[in-house]
Amino acid sequence: MKKREMNRDWIATARTLSEALPYLQRYDGAIVVIKLGGHAMGSDEAMETFARDVVLMRQVGVNPVIVHGGGPMINEMLEKLQIKSDFVGGKRVTDEATMEVVEMVLSGRVNKRIVQAINRQGGKAVGLSGKDANLITCDPADPALGLVGDPNDVDPAILRTLFSDDTIPVIAPLGSGRNGETYNINGDTAAGAVAAALKADRLLLLTDVDGVKDPDGNVLTELTATQIHDMIRDGVIAGGMIPKTETALNAIDGGVRAVVIIDGRAPNAVLLELFTEHGAGSLIRAG
Ligand SMILES: Nc1ncnc2c1ncn2[C@@H]1O[C@H](COP(=O)(O)OP(=O)(O)O)[C@@H](O)[C@H]1O
Ligand SMILES: CC(=O)N[C@@H](CCC(=O)OP(=O)(O)O)C(=O)O
C-alpha cells in the first residue's frame, strides 16, 4: 500500500524519473560496455548498488556488457604466495606462475562476485572469460611483458546470443593465444576491444578518480586525441591511466561512439551518466 503523503524528496524523485524519458528512449536497444576496475569494486554495498544499476539498465532495454579488472585482488594473492610483480606502462609483467594466479583470481573470485551480485538483484548474469567461445584471441603485446596479450581477433557472437536471451555477460580479461596459450589482458584494453567489436554506443571506464586530471588536478570534462597524446608524453597521464586513455582512443577508432572515464565509487555512477543530464568524468568521443 502506497503512503499518500507529499514530500519534497519524492516529488524530486518523480521529476528525475520523468526527465529520464529522452535518455531511456535514446538508449533503448543500445550496447553499453562497462569496465569495472578493481579499485572501483569497493565494498559489498557498493557492489550491490552497481549490480542494481546494471539490472535496471537491462530492464529498460539496454544491453550491458561488464568487463572487469581485479589488479588489487591479484596483488593480494601474489603477495600471499610471495610472487613478486612489476608493472610497465600500467601493465603487469606476467610470467607463467603469475599467469596462473591472474587466471585463478579473475575468472574465479572476482568474476563470480560480480555475477552473483547481479543475479541477487534479479538479473541474469553469466560469467565468462575472453577464452570462452573464442571471444578474444591475442598476440603477445610486448616480449618484455611476457604473457600479456593484445586482443587481435574478437568474436562477439556469444555476446549477441546472450543479449537475445536477456542475459548480462560478465567478462574476465583473459585471452587465448594462437597456440593454446593463456594471456593476461589489461582490463581496460579488453573492454575497449570488446566495445569496438560490438560497435558499442558507450564504453564506460569506471575507476577510482573523478576523471582524467590536468597538472593542477582539475578534471578535464572532454578530451581530444591530441591532448591525450601530449599528456602521456609529458607524464601528466601516468600509470593505470595510460592504458585507460589509450583504450579510449582505440575504441573510438574501432567504431565506439563515445567513451567516458568516471569514478565508479560514486553511488549510481552508471545511471547518472546514462539517464540524467548530470554526466560526470571525462568524455572522449568520435570526431
Ligand atoms: N592524469 C591523470 N588523471 C587521473 N588519474 C591519473 C592520471 N595519471 C595517472 N592517474 C592514476 O591512474 C589511476 C587509475 O588507474 P588504475 O589504478 O589502473 O585504475 P583501475 O584499477 O580503476 O583500472 C588513478 O587512481 C591515478 O592514480
Ligand atoms: C596486463 C595486465 O596488467 N592485466 C591486469 C588485469 C586486471 C586489471 O586490469 O585490473 P584493474 O582494472 O583493476 O587494474 C593485471 O594483471 O592486473
> Which residues sit opposite 204 in a β-bridge?
34, 260
Looking at this protein, which amino acid is placed at residue 172? A
If one residue of 73, 105, 207 were mutated to test the ligand 1 pocket, choosing by the most ligand atoms within 8 A of its CB, it would be: 207
End-to-end CA distance of the chain: 51
H helix or E strand, kind and range, residue 112? helix 111-120
Threshold 0.80, pTM exceeds: yes
d(CA 60, CA 58): 5
For residue 217, count other CB atoms closer than 10 A to its CB: 8
Residues at CB less than 6 angstroms from ligand 1: 37-40, 69, 71, 207-209, 212-213, 236-241
Nearest CA to ligand 2 atom 14: 71
CATH architecture of 27-285: 3-Layer(aba) Sandwich (3.40)
Rg (CA), the chain: 19
ipTM confidence score: 0.96
Tens of each residue's pLDDT in the chain, 287 residues: 556 666 778 888 888 888 999 999 999 999 999 999 999 898 999 999 999 999 999 999 999 999 999 999 999 999 999 999 999 988 999 999 999 999 999 999 999 999 999 999 999 999 999 999 999 999 999 999 999 999 999 999 999 999 999 999 999 999 999 999 999 999 999 999 999 999 999 999 999 999 999 999 999 999 999 999 999 999 999 998 999 999 999 999 999 999 999 999 998 999 989 998 877 899 999 87
Contacts of 156 (CB under 8 A, 6+ apart): 135, 194, 197, 198
